[in-house]
Structure 1
Amino acid sequence: MPKQKETAPSQVVAFNARIEGINYDILEELTGYAVRRAQLSIYADFTASLGVYDITPQRFSSLVIVCNNPGISQTRLAEVMGIARSNVVAIIDNFEQAGLLERQGSGDRRSYMLHLTKEGQRQLEKYKQAVKEHDDRVSQHLTMKERQQLRALLGKLCMEPK
């Protein structure tokens, strides 16, 4: 299990997405700016909710992907997550040291198949519950239909690689 670190409420910096009295000019009209501000606000709540477990959105996503795709390679995981392979290796190293994940040989010395351990599966269930509570909190002002619509609209913003 990743080390648990103490996070005092005073250490969590609240993000205010809109400060009264500030002229945002063109920024108010930019979709990317609105998405980024929302992401910063959501990330702040995620950190406050799961920081005690030393779990970031990237680490959580990695565990979910490995759990649901047993035997996935580190290279494929990096591709799925859209991050550098070296960053995935660091994440995997952390989880392996914590006993949450294991690498298994694939026949190719350069490639490993990734699997969650029983402890990894147990911890992931705990993390999932905390993430669900976080997600409910940050989207509490939206109806279920609006949540689905927002996810669909955000999906439309994902551009194909050039």
Structure 2
Amino acid sequence: MTTFSVLFVCMGNICRSPTAHGVFRHKLVAAGLADRIRVDSAGTHNYHPGSPPDERSAHHAARRGYDLSDLRARQITEDDLARHDLILVMDWDNLALVQDICPEAHQRKVRRLTEFCLQHDSPVVPDPYYGGAGGFDQVLDLVEDACEGLLRHVQRVA
């Protein structure tokens, strides 16, 4: 039975948010919490509806043992804002865009993913889309760290 729900949000839902979705889902399975915590991802823009994650994101994730192959891009909806307990954005632009569409009653749910980092000190997960391979590894480093902190958080609150 699902008791808690997390939504990861980036711009197009093909790089950072599906990476976070896949990493966190993997951590939940390993912790035996997959049946209690729901995970989803979305984008602030509808650039790639129905598309799989960027090949570079999927490749780098797979090298670390994460499968993103079943994930498909979609845009965040009003229903998402009500349905999820935490809405975790990747950067300042995503934060502003989600806060702009989010009703006051749900604003408290909207946070940056990197707030949960245990090791890294980065305010955002930078967009790797226009950069090289190193950007995708940096995303994974930040996301893995933040998802470990997030796992600890949901174990306390869910």
Please say whether Structure 1 and Structure 2 have the same fold, judged by a TM-score greater than 0.5.
Answer: no
Q: TM-score by structure 2 length? A: 0.27
Looking at CA atoms only, which structure, 1 or 2, has the larger radius of gyration? 1
Q: Which has the higher contact order (CA 8 A, sep 6+)?
A: 2
Q: Which has the larger share of helix?
A: 1
Q: Which has the larger share of strand?
A: 2
Q: TM-score by structure 1 length? A: 0.27
